[in-house]
Amino acid sequence: MEFWKDSDEAVRTIVKLQEEAFKDPDLGPALKKVNQLILYDYTESGPGCAVWVDCRNGQLSCGAGDPPEKPDLVLSLSADDAHRAWSNKLNPIVAITRKKIRIKGSATGLLKLAPKTKRTAEIYTQLLKDLNMADKILG
């Protein structure tokens, strides 16, 4: 991996990003509107390298590894491309057309969050600083 020392570091960081997004007054309500169980499958970067986000029924939860139920949407990409995407340095639409991100299920709800990518990147950058990972911030 280019940015992560191992898959555990990537997963821990991305779970913390989701938790911070839930608390954000703009992103939290927007995530609830997605109303899906989403699996970010980073397993090409190592076994168990995955994060799930449950936005169903007005609740928000997330975790590492496989989700508690069958996901409504699976996004498969490398942990490094996830880092680029969360940093707002990888355009998701371009990445999908170039097959850097592969989708199973309906991404309609998730596409509603496209206008929120800048805010997500701001939260992610601050999180990296807070976790003493400023060297991972993409300029």
Provide the CATH number for the domain around residue 107.
3.30.1050.10
**Torsion (CA) 85, 88, 91, 96 in degrees, nearest 10:** 20
Tens of pLDDT along 5-15?
999 999 999 99
Global pTM value:
0.92
| 37 in a structural domain | yes
Per-residue model confidence (pLDDT) at position 86: 94
- The domain of 15 spans 7-130
| 100 in a structural domain | yes
pLDDT band at residue 112 under the 50/70/90 scheme: confident
* Number of folded domains that form the chain: 1
